[in-house]
Structure 1
Amino acid sequence: MDNAIGWELYRSFLSVLQEGSLSGAARALGITQPTAGRHIAALEKALGFALFTRSQSGLIPTAAALELRSHAESMHSAAAALQRAAESHGSGVQGTVRISASEVIGVEVLPPIIARLQQQHPQLKVELVLTNRVQDLLQREADIAVRMTKPQQDALIARHIGDVMLGLHAHQDYLERCGTPATLDELATHTLIGFDKETPFLRAAAKALPIPTPGGFSLRTDNDIAQLALIRAACGIGVCQIALARRDAALVRLLPQQFALSLATWIVMHEDLRSTPRCKVTFDALINGLQAHIQQGQPPHGTSQ
């Protein structure tokens, strides 16, 4: 095996895996299709085994290619992190910071925080990655992450900023049509919005509350944004953040004394980035903005809900 394989070969390999064809990879990378083909052929020759087989639907990765994919993705993340670090050098706050967050936090909560951040630092660029998967900060898949689980790695700086409160909600139009449940047992007669697949969150929540299995939901989707949209469209009853529901006077919280969940929320960054201006100001902005959001979901002073 050739130990001096250039990164551009692995980059083309990863792009073919992602796009499914040489033409797609070429478009994604801004190179010609013959160049992408030469990169794959050169990589296969250097490695000593085939990476793809041809079919009518495109290129099918071999077992060896699939085994190499995670390593190529790590190389891609490291190369992107290197570029972000290089762009940030100079006076003041500049360069690119990559933030990873869940779908709901990324769509509903972070945009105004990012807008204020860029108003304060016009030279700062932001890459926002929306995923419910915990991205690996040690592998530099992101610079900063908003997580709903406590990080375990010692090399990470983690700040617990509070608990996001969740509750059952429905649109008032739905309640006018179908009635308002007075007990948890009455939920069985209503249209419930929930997940299509059982998740670790569902299993953990079910230990404390009578949450249905996926089969018990009348409307099922594993996309959190879609669930929120279904609640807002008066399709049924579902779980959403109390702070988000309070933005819409038409959303009504149900059974607050009987159903309440919380998600511990953390802002996490690799410790090597603590003195990097672009990451430091972003880290602080996320803490301040998310703490304000969490506070909006807390019970009013002197009340229990």
Structure 2
Amino acid sequence: MDETIGWELYRSFLGVLHEGSLSGAARALGLTQPTVGRHVAALEQALGQALFTRSHAGLLPTEAARAMQASAEAMASQAAALQRVARGFGEIRGAVRVSASEVVAVERLPPVLAALRRAHPGLEIELVPSNRLQDLVQREADVAVRMAAPQQEVLVATRVADMALGLFAHQDYLARHGRPATVDELRGHALIGFDVETPFLREARRSFPFWTRERFALRCDSDLAQLALIRAGAGIGACQVGVAGPGLVRVLPEAFELRLPAWVVMHGDLRASARCRVVYDALVAALRAG
């Protein structure tokens, strides 16, 4: 296959594939119908494959065209991403995709992002609350808040703070059931914890052997759902000290504290992007301030 095939040929190919006709593709792409036709013919010649057959319903894709579809759509997605990056350099305008854990995204970042939008109305924020690490090298996100230091050399990172985890219960729950004075007294309480054990939880349990799945009266793998259960007075569970909020009382602080180092991370290529840099700097400042 000729490696010099231009993106414009694949773009027209995708247009016909999606619209089912040269005229429909031309309208969608803002091109003339003869131009789209020339692009498709040139691509077929370069590949040595027929990509469409004519029918009363329009242009039907061949098996070769269907086989190419996923790769061509991936190219279109990458081209759109490149365009967004190019538009964003030098001006604070356009989309920035921010990834953070569920709790950080919901409990810590909204005021920061709201302030950013007030200061930069042209900025668009795509917030991804997920405990799965988004791949910054593959640009699943532009900026991320992580609880682990990045390993890839192409990423830039700033350590912002240690986020402490403790055991908490709502004051109403403690009024009904009493406050445990020792770890052993936790046996008489409704504990809120995980359902599926992860490598992180296995490592944490080395220091806190009493925190096991079998002892939980309520099990859930969503940190946000666990926090909601604690706030509802359902029992005693772990949450970040900085987001516990009114009504929650810390339990057994001397027996349970886990400190998570927090980092703000982005791809090194985005340092020159004004919109990504302003988001990165705002997250660093806010999370350092607590």
TM-score (norm 1): 0.72
1:262 alignment partner in structure 2? 259
2:153 counterpart SS class: coil
Q: Is 1:272 matched with 2:269?
A: yes
State the 1:86 CA deviation.
Answer: 3.5
Distance 2:254 2:218 in 1: 24
Residues 127 and 9 of structure 1: is their aligned pair in 2 closer, same or farther, counting only changes over 3 Å? farther
Q: In structure 2, what residue type is equivalent to 1:195?
A: F
State the 1:290 CA deviation.
Answer: 1.1
Distance 1:243 1:177 in 2: 25
Q: What stretches of structure 1 move > 6 A for 4+ residues in a row?
A: 1-5, 7-11, 71-74
Name which of structure 1's ranges 37-46 and 186-195 shifts more when overlaid on structure 2: 37-46
- 8 A contact 2:10–2:72 mirrored in 1: no
State the 1:255 CA deviation.
Answer: 0.6
1:129 alignment partner in structure 2? 128
Instruction: Name the % identity.
Output: 52
Distance 1:73 1:209 in 2: 48
Distance 2:85 2:243 in 1: 35
1:201 counterpart SS class: helix
Residues 94 and 39 of structure 1: is their aligned pair in 2 closer, same or farther, counting only changes over 3 Å? farther
- 8 A contact 1:78–1:139 mirrored in 2: no
1:273 counterpart SS class: helix
Q: Is 1:44 matched with 2:41?
A: no
Q: 1:188-223, CA deviations, whole angstroms, 9 ceiling, x for partnerless residues?
A: 211000111001221111111224322321101111
Residues 176 and 128 of structure 1: is their aligned pair in 2 closer, same or farther, counting only changes over 3 Å? same
Residues 164 and 75 of structure 1: is their aligned pair in 2 closer, same or farther, counting only changes over 3 Å? farther
1:64 alignment partner in structure 2? none
1:209 alignment partner in structure 2? 208
Q: Is 1:116 matched with 2:138?
A: no
Flag structure 1 segments of 5+ consecutive residues without an equivalent.
14-29, 48-67, 294-305
Distance 1:120 1:142 in 2: 22
Residues 240 and 270 of structure 1: is their aligned pair in 2 closer, same or farther, counting only changes over 3 Å? same
- 8 A contact 1:168–1:237 mirrored in 2: yes
Distance 1:170 1:76 in 2: 50
1:151 alignment partner in structure 2? 150
Q: 1:256-294, CA deviations, whole angstroms, 9 ceiling, x for partnerless residues?
A: 11110111100001111111100111110000111122x
- 8 A contact 2:159–2:262 mirrored in 1: yes
Residues 116 and 191 of structure 1: is their aligned pair in 2 closer, same or farther, counting only changes over 3 Å? same
Residues 164 and 176 of structure 1: is their aligned pair in 2 closer, same or farther, counting only changes over 3 Å? same
State the 1:78 CA deviation.
Answer: 3.4
Distance 1:217 1:40 in 2: 56
Q: 1:219-274, CA deviations, whole angstroms, 9 ceiling, x for partnerless residues?
A: 011111100000000000000111111x31x1000011111011110000111111
1:196 alignment partner in structure 2? 195
- 8 A contact 1:2–1:46 mirrored in 2: no
Distance 2:202 2:237 in 1: 17
Distance 2:274 2:285 in 1: 17
TM-score (norm 2): 0.76
How many residue pairs match? The answer is 246
Higher-Rg member (1/2): 2
Distance 1:189 1:10 in 2: 63
Q: 1:43-89, CA deviations, whole angstroms, 9 ceiling, x for partnerless residues?
A: 43559xxxxxxxxxxxxxxxxxxxx8xx8997676345324214425
Distance 2:188 2:105 in 1: 33
State the 1:176 CA deviation.
Answer: 1.0
- 8 A contact 1:193–1:217 mirrored in 2: yes
2:272 counterpart SS class: coil
Distance 2:62 2:177 in 1: 59
Q: In structure 2, what residue type is equivalent to 1:174?
A: Y
